[in-house]
Each structure stands twice: as C-alpha cells, then as structure tokens.
Amino acid sequence: MNRKFPEGFLWGAATSAPQSEGAQYEDGRTPSTWDKWFELEPEYFNQDQGPQETVQVYKRYQDDVKLMSAINHNSHRTSISWNRLLPDGKTVNEKAVQFYRDYFKRMKEEGIEPIVNLFHFDMPWWLMERGGWEARESADHFAHYAKVAFQQFGDIVHYWTTFNEPIVHVTCGYLADYHWPKVHDLKRAVQVAHHTCLAHAKAVIEFRTLDLDGKIGNILNLSPVYPRSERAEDLKAAKDAHAIHVKSFLDPTVHGTYPEHLVTLLREHDLLPETEAEDLEVIAQGAVDFLGVNYYQPIRVKEVPEAERHHPAQSLEDFSRHYDWPEKRMNPYRGWEIYPKGIYDIAMMIKEDYNNIPWFISENGMGVAEEERFIDASGEVQDDYRIEFIHDHLEYALQAMEEGANCFGYHLWTFIDCWSWLNGFKNRYGYYRLDLETHERTPKKSAHWIKDVIASGELPELNHERK
Ligand code: NOJ
C-alpha cells in the first residue's frame, strides 16, 4: 500500500472558540448558552468546570501559533464566537475583529492555513431568549453574522465552514439533556434541524454573493451505520438511522436537497417541519465546495421490537436501537468504540453517493480520562494509545485515497487539551497537555510523532496488528 501523503495535504488540529478562548466576558463579549447554563446550573458540569477559563487562547494565541508550527502543522481549525463578534447580534465588536484578524494573520505568517468555522454549539444567549434555532428568524441572524465574518476576515481566511456537527445541537439539545435548552421533543428537534439547514444555506448564499477568494464547507459528524444482521428488520433500522444521522445534513450540504427517505419517514410520523414556500430553493443554494468529516466511532443498530415502537414516533429510539457488537474494541479510557475502518467506509460513501466531493478529516481522536497516569519521569505524556489510534485511521484514509477518495487533510481533535462541555476537562484529547493551574502547554509523545510523520510525508509502520 502507498504510505505517502499527497503534496499539500493539510495537517493540523481542531478546536472551537467556546472550548478554547476563555476571556468569557472580556472586551465586550456577551454570554452564549454555555456561559449562561453554567451560571444557572453548575452542577450539570463535571467537577463544576465551566467555560470561563479553558485554554486562554484569547490571551495566549501568539505563542500557540508557534506551537502549531513547532510540530509542523500547516493548518488549524477554530471557530469565531458569534457573541464576541456581534455581542448584540448587530453591532460589530472592534476588539473581536482585532483579535481574530491578528490570530489568523499570525497563523498565515507561520505557514498555517486557518480553517474557520462559524457555529460550534454556541448559540448567543440573547438569541436563545428569542427561541434559538426554533425561531425562524435565527437563520437570518446567522446569515447576517456570517456575512460580517466574511467581510471582516475574508481577505485572510480561505477555508470557511458554517457549522460544526449540526445534528448534535439538534439531538443533544432537543432530544436529550446535553445541550441547552434540554427539551425532549421530536417535532421541535425537526424544526430546529430545518432552521439550521436554512441558516447554513443562507450563509452560503452570502458567501457566494461576496465572491471571495475562498471556499465554503460544512463540518459533519459522519459515521458508517452497520446493521446487526442482514435480516430485513435490521436492515430497515440501519436505513432509517443512515437517513437520520448521516443523510439529514449531508444531502442538503452536498446536493442541496433533503433526502427522500427521511422526508418519507417524517411524513409517516407527522413530523414534517413548518416551512415557507421558498425554503427548498434556498436550501438548494447551500451546496458546498468541501466537507469536513468528524469521525470517532461507527453507529451500530438493530431493529426496534414491534411492541416497543410508538407511532407516531416519540424519540429516535422508535426508528432503531443501539446494537452492542460483541467484537467491538473499546477505548478503555473513555468508553467509545475504536473502529478505524469506519473512515474507509465513509470515504467510499462520499465517493459513490456524494460526487467524490473534496473532504478532510476535520476531527478524529481519542479522549482519555486521568491522562496524568501516563506522564513519565521527564514530564511527557506517553500517549502511545493515541499514536496507534491516529496511525490506524490514517492507514485506512490512505487506502481510501489510493482507491480515489478525495481526502485532503487530517486534523486531530484537539490541539491543546480543552474544555469539553458538560465533561469539563474529564477527557484529554490534545497533542499538547494543558496544566489547569498554570496553563502551561507541554507536547505529548504523539506531538513528536506527528511532527515526524508530517516531515517525512509518509506514514511509518507501527509494529502492531491493525484491527
Ligand atoms: C465533537 C465536537 O466538535 C467537539 O466540540 C467535542 O469536544 C469533541 N467532538 C470531543 O467529544
């Protein structure tokens, strides 16, 4: 197998504004739902760790950019904080403009291509009070914010993305308690998803109107869906789960249309959202130039027993149930399945069903609880498990590329251990370890390893069996 990466392959790591910036209320920034939620109910957050400090990128970005090039990265993804750039949704915050311009410029000077995302789960509180994504007006507010960002930074930033994992704020906030407003209502969730798609498309329209020298994409968490068996009932569960978890945002993002099977399911269950006449035309204009693919673990499903199924559906559990594959290999330090071949299967799906659109691995990685266990006498985290994880996913990505997949980069989640929503700092993911007291950043073993991989342009053999 070819182990060489193509010329110009993007190497880097991903983070987001709410998880890394800190400086929560400084220089005019107003709260997002996360800041407010932590204020209201800190007990929801692991060890009472809120978003107020996190990595302090707002104050330390000059040095952090140097840490990126110290390990040969040539790209970096972060997001803009909507509530920092437009604290009231209208007025441009000059301090925010200065910060982001300088941050992105410094990246460029170090040979780092900034990949800038607009929404990473951080709904401004003022807009949440008006209904958040449930309110149709949110799509227009988002389009305005996107336009301001393109105008302010479009001369520096070449790669833009609208959303990070849009299905996550839908399912975690409207079908579970992991995001604000933590309601459990399928109908409202579908409405939120529709407004998110509208918001995405409207931002793409703004981008095309400005005719900038750049590309626009969307970052989706895509997982292959595997059925328990070839029985018709399991296959149907997998087909439904694929429509809900994969095609729901992928089809509008690449084809500019909603997937037929999903529309049929929603109609059957009386779950179609409220729409206006022009919506489908707007969504048709949301087709992107490239995709970011976040991949951590596959989705494994089985049928829902007839007796347990509601009609109309009340939750996603009415379409498919999680299947516990007996052969699965688990990340022992966090509890997610590790299945590197999933990246190959996604690559082939994009090639076959989505015009082989250019894409990059925008997140992949391994969360580890109590990672201090792996610090050696020299003070370095010996994260061989992470090296193996990255290696195995890259190996499958290379195999897919050899078979024609259009993959142009690999980003680890994350660069410096950062704050992870309700989990606080429970699971560490970075190439750099963060000391929570001093905020010192120390490269882990994986940082040195990836530095050498990038320098050689080739994936080394690891002496272990690929699973
Ligand atoms: C997905 C999200 O984009 C990011 O915010 C999160 O922290 C990581 N995955 C790890 O769970």
Q: ipTM score here?
A: 0.98
245: in domain = yes
CATH number of residue 25's parent domain: 3.20.20.80
How do residues 164-212 score in pLDDT, each as one tens digit?
999 999 999 999 999 999 999 999 999 999 999 999 999 999 999 999 9
User: Under a CB-based contact definition with an 8 Å cutoff, are residues 244 and 220 in contact?
Assistant: no
101: in domain = yes
Residue range 30-54: average pLDDT? 97
Q: Whose C-alpha lies nearest to ligand 1, atom 11?
A: 420
With b for 16 or more beta-carbon neighbours within 10 A and e for fewer, the 173-200 pattern comes to bbbeebbbbeeeebbbbbbbbbbbbbbb
- Does residue 237 surpass a pLDDT of 80? yes
| pLDDT for residue 152 | 99
Cα 271 to middle of ligand 1, angstroms = 28
4: in domain = no
Residue range 114-137: average pLDDT? 98
464: in domain = no
With cut-offs at 50, 70 and 90, classify the pLDDT of residue 466: low
244: in domain = yes
Ligand 1 atom at minimal distance to the Cα of residue 421: 7
Model-wide pTM > 0.80: yes
Pairing between strand 299-302 and 321-322? Answer: antiparallel
Phi, psi dihedrals of residue 362, rounded to the nearest 5°: -90, -15
- Rounded CA Rg of the chain: 21
| pLDDT for residue 463 | 75
With cut-offs at 50, 70 and 90, classify the pLDDT of residue 53: confident
Find, among 156, 133, 116, 126, the residue nearest to 12 by Cα.
116
CB atoms inside a 10 Å sphere around CB 384: 14
Q: Hey, which of 164, 420, 429 would you mutate to test ligand 1's pocket, going by the most ligand atoms within 8 Å of its Cβ?
A: 420
Q: Is 95 left (phi over 0), alpha (psi -120 to 50) or beta?
A: alpha
| pLDDT for residue 324 | 97
Tokens of 291: 């995709």
Residue range 108-120: average pLDDT? 99
Cα 210 to middle of ligand 1, angstroms = 31
User: Under a CB-based contact definition with an 8 Å cutoff, are residues 333 and 325 in contact?
Assistant: no
With cut-offs at 50, 70 and 90, classify the pLDDT of residue 383: very high
Range of the domain at 203: 10-456
Q: Whose C-alpha lies nearest to ligand 1, atom 6?
A: 420
- Does residue 465 surpass a pLDDT of 70? no
User: Using a 6 Å CB cutoff, which residues line ligand 1?
Assistant: 16, 19, 164-165, 294, 363, 413, 420
Phi, psi dihedrals of residue 458, rounded to the nearest 5°: -145, 145
92: in domain = yes
229: in domain = yes
| pLDDT for residue 1 | 86
The residues annotated as belonging to the active site are 165, 363
The total number of structural domains in the chain stands at: 1
Q: Whose C-alpha lies nearest to ligand 1, atom 4?
A: 420
Tokens of 401: 């590329």
33: in domain = yes
> What is the length of the chain?
467
Cα 408 to middle of ligand 1, angstroms = 21
